[in-house]
Amino acid sequence: MFSRPDIFFRPFRKHGMVPLATYMRIYKKGDIVDIKGMGTVQKGMPHKCSHDKTGRVCNVTQHAVGIMVNKQVKGKILAKRTNVCFEHIKHSKSRDSFLTCVNKNDQKKKEAKEKGTWVQLKRQPAPPREAHFVRTNRKESELLEPIPYEYMA
């Protein structure tokens, strides 16, 4: 998995200068970040075992962030600290959906409280499809049913 020699290669036609937005992003302690090593910048590269992993920022320095990453060592999973320059980092979207959900729920709760109604906040699994009309194009509909079970010796 992480012993491929091309793990830090730049994608096709994306070599050379790194787009400057990478340098403008801001990382705070507690942010969740994805680690993705980049061959263009040799300083502060992540170790190959933390490539493609997601961790939490625990320290911010001038050019790098310290990240807590989970590493599986034989039978156990250790939370390890790595220092990685921020060219190899990007904000993880894993937390974003959760946070927007939380905000939305807070909104809904507020509105429901004002109106005095109760809102379903829990996530529901996808329900079966509702009854709906189907176009038949003047054809007779054929009823398909499973054959009732019969034990065949």
Q: Which residues bind another protein (CB under 8 A)?
A: 13-17, 19-21, 23-28, 60-65, 86
User: In sequence order, what are the residues at sequence separation of 6 or more whose Cβ sits closer than 8 angstroms to the Cβ of residue 49?
Assistant: 2, 71
CA 103 to chain centre: 18
State in angstroms the smallest separation of the CB of 34 from another protein: 17
Nearest of 24, 21, 19, 46 to residue 35 by alpha carbon = 46
State in angstroms the smallest separation of the CB of 60 from another protein: 5
CA 81 to chain centre: 21
Between 19 and 128, CB nearer to another protein: 19
Number of helices and strands (H, E) in the chain?
2, 5
Compute the distance between CA of residue 130 and CA of residue 142 in angstroms, rounded to an integer: 20
Helix (H, G, I), strand (E, B) or coil at 90: strand
Between 21 and 144, CB nearer to another protein: 21
State in angstroms the smallest separation of the CB of 13 from another protein: 4
Between 49 and 66, CB nearer to another protein: 66
State in angstroms the smallest separation of the CB of 11 from another protein: 10
Between 28 and 122, CB nearer to another protein: 28
